[in-house]
Amino acid sequence: MCESFFATLECELIDRRRFRNQDEARREVFQFIEGWYNPHRRHSGIDYQSPINFERRYQGVA
């Protein structure tokens, strides 16, 4: 699981740009994780849906 995350991070963010300094890299990695990877990536534990879509479906049913 962890290897998959780091492969995605490297492919989608790290390999596509150069950072001016370590602080910029930290901010961009945080934004990648919290802004895209966690809320939008499909998760096998919730029937291969993104958490946002899962939550919308759950709220629509409730």
Q: Which two tokens stand for residue 60?
A: 């629509």
pLDDT in tens, 19-46: 999 999 999 999 999 998 888 888 889 9
Nearest to 42 by CA among 52, 51, 34, 50: 50
Domain ranges for the chain: 2-61
pLDDT at residue 62, rounded to an integer: 57
How far is 56 from 23, CA to CA, in rounded Å? 34
How far is 36 from 41, CA to CA, in rounded Å? 7
pLDDT at residue 24, rounded to an integer: 97
Q: Do 62 and 55 meet the contact criterion of CB atoms below 8 Å apart?
A: no
Say yes or no to pLDDT of 13 above 80. Answer: yes
